[in-house]
A and B are shown apart, each in its own frame.
Chain A
């Protein structure tokens, strides 16, 4: 056996080198980079996008908060008059007796949500009634 090894030593060494190169090429740690057209949506990207929130950014959030506080101090129900950041308006046509014209009028006066109508005080209703 020793004799055999000694006899074939150059060939064995060559085979070792070739095997090492082949094995290294196959087994080397590789990093695969996949390129896509769209960036993946990570959790922090969607965290602040609550559709029901009244504000889209820090400034309008601060404004909403200031309205809340100041409204409480002066006793005015400010909060519910804040126009929401909802992209779609509530469909006033679904209220019985409200047609397209009245819905448009209400939208023009800044009413976009059902809860804004629901929270109207009798005085406010009178004022709106007069304007219609």
Chain B
């Protein structure tokens, strides 16, 4: 496997993990902002 493809794939994996984390954080923020009795 060429090195550049390897690096690209790894960074893509990292990027998607970061995106998922951000999604979880946004979900948390929205849930906190919702009014509950």
User: A residues touching B (Cβ–Cβ < 8 Å)?
Assistant: 4-5, 8, 11-24, 26-29
Contact = CB atoms under 8 A, between A and B. Distances in A.
Question: Would you call the interface of chain A mostly helix, strand, loop, or mixed?
Answer: helix
Interface string B3-28: 00011001111111111111101100
Contacts of B21: 16, 19-20, 23
Contact of B14 (A14, A26, A29): A14
A16 B26 contact: no
Contacts of B11: 8, 11-12, 14-15
Interface of B: 6-7, 10-23, 25-26, 29-30, 33
Contact of B18 (A5, A20, A28, A29): A20
19 contacts: A5-B10, A8-B7, A8-B10, A11-B7, A11-B10, A12-B10, A15-B12, A17-B18, A18-B15, A18-B18, A19-B21, A20-B22, A21-B18, A23-B18, A23-B21, A23-B23, A26-B22, A29-B30, A29-B33
Given A12-B14, A15-B14, A23-B23, 9 more contacts: A8-B7, A8-B11, A12-B10, A12-B17, A15-B10, A15-B11, A15-B18, A16-B21, A24-B26
